[in-house]
């Protein structure tokens, strides 16, 4: 397995006010990361508005310092719900998904993180499922010719909350390039992550690494790797048994560290290094 870090973990792109991409990449490489997960949104780094050359240059800044770019992530699907009954909202989500696929293709990333849909009390669950299925299939067909995987992540969206239902959704899409982006910490409040790996192990294409303190049990419970309740020894053993040998990608912004109230750039980079050291322990079986 390899050690990766999602750029939200270093407050990118706001950190660029004090540290350019190449210097940031050099720091991340020096502390031991193998790759970075590029991120986009609909404002500060918008792949619809960015030119291919701008995206390529950003990627090259990281690659030139020896870092790979295995994946691309985004939070836009919370705003532009792929399962929405509002066609304008759903279509905008698909548009951003396709822009993300193009971005992944440009930078050489093999996958893009996708939140399949977000449930609400106003929309029948069956309609959410059908709309989400339609959207993800459209993205998968678009991504297939670009050799990009649609990595569907388990998140706190009140949708697909059991491993059996999640697996059924992936199967129902019916595309070989639709896989699972497993986030173990996201599961602790609602399920047993071990069950998910047993059910979905062969479908996992990506893994996010963070932790969660179940004694807190809410959004404030997310923590740095090895600072919460995840049984990493068991998780790594199960992932290896399932044949997973990809990236463990840290998704731990400084806010996950309760000791960092107003983090400086030094604090942010120190937090990234702390998580890299924790990943090394995790990968060695602790």
For the range 170-175, what are the long-range contacts, defined as Cβ-Cβ under 8 Å and sequence gap of 24 or more? 170/200, 170/203, 172/133, 173/133, 173/136, 173/137, 173/140, 174/137, 175/137, 175/140, 175/141, 175/144, 175/150
pLDDT tens track for 58-98: 999 999 999 999 999 999 999 999 999 999 999 999 999 99
pTM for the model stands at 0.97
- Domain of residue 49 covers 2-283
Residue 218: how many other CB atoms lie within 10 Å = 10
Structure tokens at 148: 């990009």
Q: How many residues comprise the chain?
A: 286
Q: How far apart are CA 112 and CA 101, in angstroms?
A: 6
Q: How far apart are CA 140 and CA 40, in angstroms?
A: 19
pLDDT tens, per residue, the chain with 286 residues? 999 999 999 999 999 999 999 999 999 999 999 999 999 999 999 999 999 999 999 999 999 999 999 999 999 999 999 999 999 999 999 999 999 999 999 999 999 999 999 999 999 999 999 999 999 999 999 999 999 999 999 999 999 999 999 999 999 999 999 999 999 999 999 999 999 999 999 999 999 999 999 999 999 999 999 999 999 999 999 999 999 999 999 999 999 999 999 999 999 999 999 999 999 999 998 7
**CB 2, CB 39: distance < 8 Å:** no
Structure tokens at 115: 């939140």
Angle made by CA atoms 268, 189, 227, in degrees to the nearest 5: 35
Residue 208: its H or E element: strand 204-209
Q: How many helices (H) and strands (E) does the chain have?
A: 10, 10
Cis peptide before 262 (omega within 30 of 0): no
User: How many domains are there within the chain?
Assistant: 1
The CATH number that applies at residue 215 is 3.20.20.150
Q: What is the 3-state secondary structure (H, E, C) of 211-273?
A: EECCCCCCHHHEECCCCCCCCHHHHHHHHHHCCCCCEEEECCCHHHCCCCCCCCHHHHHHHHH
DSSP 130: H
Structure tokens at 160: 């697909």
**CB 254, CB 210: distance < 8 Å:** no
């Amino acid at each position: 397995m390899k050690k990766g870090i999602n750029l939200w973990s270093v407050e990118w792109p706001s950190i660029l006010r004090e540290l350019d991409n190449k210097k940031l990449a050099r720091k991340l490489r020096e502390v031991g990361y193998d790759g970075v997960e590029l991120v986009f949104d609909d404002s500060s780094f918008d792949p619809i508005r960015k030119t291919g050359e701008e995206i390529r240059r950003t990627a090259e800044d990281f690659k030139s310092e020896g870092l790979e770019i295995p994946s691309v992530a985004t939070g836009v699907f919370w705003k532009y719900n792929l399962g929405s009954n509002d066609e304008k909202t759903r279509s905008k989500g698909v548009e951003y998904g396709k822009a993300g696929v193009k971005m992944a293709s440009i930078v050489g990333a093999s996958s893009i993180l996708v939140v399949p849909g977000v449930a609400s009390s106003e929309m029948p669950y069956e309609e959410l499922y059908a709309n989400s299925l339609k959207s993800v299939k459209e993205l998968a067909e678009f991504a297939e010719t670009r050799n990009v995987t649609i990595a569907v992540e388990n998140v706190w969206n009140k949708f697909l909350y059991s491993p059996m239902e999640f697996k059924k959704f992936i199967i129902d899409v019916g595309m070989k390039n639709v896989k699972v982006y497993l986030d173990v910490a996201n599961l602790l409040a609602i399920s047993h992550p071990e069950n998910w790996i047993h059910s979905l192990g062969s479908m996992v294409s990506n893994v996010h690494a963070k932790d969660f303190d179940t004694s807190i049990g809410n959004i404030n419970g997310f923590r740095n790797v090895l600072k919460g309740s995840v049984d990493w020894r068991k998780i790594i053993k199960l992932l290896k048994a399932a044949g997973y040998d990809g990236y463990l990608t840290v998704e731990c912004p400084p806010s996950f560290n309760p000791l960092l109230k107003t983090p400086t750039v030094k604090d942010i980079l120190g937090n990234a290094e702390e998580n890299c050291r924790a990943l090394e322990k995790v990968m060695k079986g602790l």
